[in-house]
């Protein structure tokens, strides 16, 4: 995917030097893979042959591999002799090619535990390709504020890790050496998925405030920019906001699987111009990402970025507005009478009457980001300018019909309700679902207006 190519000026697939401090000990040999995992382990099996790819339609075989992977992670992280510096907390999710667990790094007793997501693949060549693609992507976008950060990884037949962030604490050589590849370790993002946020806000009668919607759309635009002009930060560099790179051609990296389960929310960043009221969100799961500039028919206007990226991040905001989980492109929605758009819920006849509270500037930007024809889409530079100005300049006074709901205090109260109140269920992020699709919409509970929600209106 990211081999040397004229359209890949950044040499993404480079190998970085191993760090001084690590989760993996470079001198150790990883554990031999249990037979139950077939070709999905860190070493070859007893006969030295790679197992065939599992049939994705073979439910019995898939269940066997899932149970074997769960058993490997559970056993590995509950053995205090092998991993005294790490504690298993819970499984986070599973997909057709792998499983993920929440693990605490407790090697430094003077600091609070650091939560990690350990993604363990199984299934042969297909998963190796998927996880290898994700490793390449995560290295490329490392340092971007709107992406979950990679901390460590191990390829399938590797006897040592290829790369890892250094700022992890070392304690008498206790590492994750026994964990075979393919394995990826990433940061844990604490405030749950976009789906969690959507499910909770859909139960409330009031609309999501415009200023929150603008901020969430800006997060998506920043992520789009980070996939076009990747930061590729150094090992210990802090995350930074994604910006359009001067004098650099865009990369055209397409995520290809942006949906509610693959977006997670972090914490508020006090003093930040963009995230002091609304937390930043981060994209996860790059297992099916690709460089669309390598397609036979690449985009004609690269300054607008890959179509799916812009359309899908705008579609998430439209879902919050319309309170519709499954949005699908349909014919018959037109912006300005002639621009066909996938923002069907916002542009069908009568939509303005259904959402009289909606900022017309926001509605138009979503419609243009989701325009079907490339010439009608807005360049990413203009999307960024419009969303940045809205987040920076718009106040409650810009929404006289809903002023009380758009004040700074109201926004903070809404975020507190959505992410931190006791009624919020713990996040169960499916951190490894490379073949994920949007599930059918789930009906909300009868009369589902919480006491907290009702009290805050």
Q: Which residues contact 320 (CB under 8 A, 6 or more apart)?
A: 198, 201, 208, 213, 216
The separation between CA 402 and the C-alpha centre of its own chain, rounded to angstroms, equals 32
Distance CA 314, CA 221 (A): 9
Question: Could you tell me if 147 and 238 lie in one domain?
Answer: no
pLDDT for 225-271, tens place per residue? 999 999 998 766 899 999 998 788 888 899 999 999 999 999 999 88
Q: Are residues 215 and 120 in the same domain?
A: no
pLDDT digits (tens, 9 = 90+) for 270-288: 889 899 999 999 999 998 8
Residue with tokens 């970085």: 16
pLDDT over 60 at 422, yes or no: no
On whether both 57 and 179 belong to a single domain, the answer is yes
Q: How far apart are CA 97 and CA 285, in angstroms?
A: 12
Of 136, 171, 187, which residue sits at a domain end? 187
Q: How many domains does the chain have?
A: 2
Interval 162-199: pLDDT, tens: 333 222 223 223 456 556 667 888 999 989 999 999 99
Residues 155 and 259 placed together within one structural domain of the fold: no
Does residue 199 share a domain with residue 180?
no
- pLDDT value for 387: 98
How many whole angstroms separate alpha carbon 383 and alpha carbon 387? Answer: 6
Q: Is residue 27 part of a domain?
A: no
- Domain span at 67: 35-187
Say whether pTM exceeds 0.75. Answer: yes
Cis peptide before 182 (omega within 30 of 0): yes
Q: Is residue 447 part of a domain?
A: no
Inform me whether the pLDDT recorded for 430 exceeds 80: no
Instruction: Let me know whether 405 and 260 are in one domain.
Output: yes
Q: Which of 51-60, 358-367, 416-425 has the lowest mean pLDDT?
A: 51-60
For residue 143, give the CATH number of its domain.
3.30.200.20
Does residue 155 fall inside a structural domain? Answer: yes
Q: What is the mean pLDDT of residues 443-447?
A: 33
Q: Which of 170, 187, 204 is the last residue of a domain?
A: 187
**218 and 118 in a common domain:** no
Residue 247 located in a structural domain: yes
| Contact call for residues 353 and 347 (beta carbons, < 8 A) | no
Residue 10 near residue 232 (C-beta atoms within 8 A)? yes
Q: Please indicate, yes or no, whether residues 105 and 141 belong to a single structural domain of this protein.
A: yes
Q: Mean pLDDT over all residues of the chain?
A: 75
- Let me know whether 201 and 79 are in one domain: no
Assigned domain for 4 exists: no
Collapse the DSSP code of 153 into the 3-class scheme (helix H, G, I; strand E, B; otherwise coil) and give the result.
strand
* Residue 7 pLDDT exceeds 90: no
Region of 323 on the Ramachandran plot (φ > 0 left; ψ -120 to 50 alpha; else beta): left
Our CA dihedral for 196, 202, 204, 208, rounded to 10 degrees, sits at 90
Q: Please check whether residue 317 is in contact with residue 216, taking contact to mean a CB–CB distance below 8 angstroms.
A: yes
Mean pLDDT of 320-339: 83
- Please answer whether residues 388 and 314 qualify as being in contact, where contact means their C-beta atoms are separated by less than 8 angstroms: no
Residue 444 lies in a domain: no
Q: Is 183 helix (H, G, I), strand (E, B) or coil?
A: strand
- Domain closes at, from 187, 207, 237: 187
Q: Which residues contact 392 (CB under 8 A, 6 or more apart)?
A: 273
Q: Is the pLDDT of residue 399 over 90?
A: yes
- Residue by residue, DSSP assigns 61-126 as HHHHHHHHHHHHHHHHHH-TTT-TTEEEEEEEEE-SSEEEEEEEE---TTSPPEEEEEEEE-SSHH
The per-residue pLDDT for range 39-95, each reduced to its tens digit, is 333 222 222 233 345 455 567 877 777 787 788 788 888 877 777 888 899 998 876
Give percent above pLDDT 90 in the chain: 41
232 and 140 co-located in one domain? no
pLDDT surpasses 70 at 419: yes
CATH code assigned at 329: 1.10.510.10
Check the annotation: does 119 bind a ligand: yes
| Residue 443 maps to a domain | no
Same domain, 403 and 295: yes
Asked if residue 432 belongs to a domain, the reply is no
Both 170 and 289 in one domain: the answer is no
Q: What is the pLDDT of residues 149-170, one digit of tens each?
A: 998 887 654 433 333 322 222 3
pLDDT(414) > 50: yes
């Amino acid at each position: 995917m990211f081999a040397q190519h004229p359209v890949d000026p950044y040499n993404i697939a480079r190998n970085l030097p191993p760090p001084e401090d690590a989760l993996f000990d470079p001198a150790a040999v990883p554990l031999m893979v249990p037979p139950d995992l077939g070709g999905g382990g860190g070493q070859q099996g007893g006969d030295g042959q790679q197992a065939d790819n599992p049939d994705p339609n073979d439910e019995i075989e898939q269940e066997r591999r899932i149970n074997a992977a769960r058993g490997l992670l559970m056993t590995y992280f509950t053995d205090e002799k092998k991993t005294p510096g790490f504690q298993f907390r819970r499984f986070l999710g599973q997909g057709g090619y792998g499983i993920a667990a929440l693990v605490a790094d407790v090697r430094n007793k003077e600091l609070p535990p650091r939560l990690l997501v350990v993604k363990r693949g199984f299934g042969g060549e297909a998963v190796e390709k998927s996880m290898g693609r994700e490793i390449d992507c995560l290295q490329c976008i490392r340092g971007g504020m709107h992406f979950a950060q990679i901390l460590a990884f191990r390829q399938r037949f590797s006897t040592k890790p290829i790369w890892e962030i250094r700022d992890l604490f070392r304690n008498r050589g206790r590492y994750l050496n026994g964990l075979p590849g393919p394995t990826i370790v990433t940061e844990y993002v604490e405030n749950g998925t976009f789906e969690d946020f959507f499910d909770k806000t859909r139960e409330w009668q009031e609309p999501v405030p415009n200023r929150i919607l603008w901020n969430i759309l800006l997060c998506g635009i920043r992520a789009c920019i980070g996939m076009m002009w990747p930061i590729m930060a150094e090992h210990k560099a802090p995350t930074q906001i994604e910006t359009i790179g001067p004098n650099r051609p865009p990369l055209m990296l397409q995520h290809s699987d942006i949906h509610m389960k693959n977006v997670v929310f972090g914490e508020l960043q006090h003093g930040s111009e963009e995230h002091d009221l609304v937390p930043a969100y981060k994209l996860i799961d790059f297992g099916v990402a690709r460089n669309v500039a390598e397609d036979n028919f690449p985009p004609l206007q690269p300054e607008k970025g890959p179509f799916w990226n812009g359309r899908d991040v705008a579609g998430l905001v439209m879902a919050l507005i319309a309170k519709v989980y499954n949005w699908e492109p349909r014919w018959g929605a037109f912006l300005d009478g002639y621009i066909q758009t996938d923002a069907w819920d916002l542009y069908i006849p009568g939509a303005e009457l259904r959402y009289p509270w909606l900022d017309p500037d926001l509605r138009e930007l979503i419609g243009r980001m989701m325009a079907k024809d490339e010439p009608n889409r807005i360049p990413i530079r203009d999307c960024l300018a419009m969303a940045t100005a809205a987040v920076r300049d718009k106040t409650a006074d810009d929404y006289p019909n809903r002023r009380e709901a758009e004040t700074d205090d109201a926004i903070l109260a809404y975020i507190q309700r959505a992410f931190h109140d006791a009624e919020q269920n713990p996040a169960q992020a499916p951190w490894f679902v490379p073949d994920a699709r949007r599930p059918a919409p789930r009906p909300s509970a009868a009369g589902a207006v919480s006491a907290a929600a009702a009290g805050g209106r």
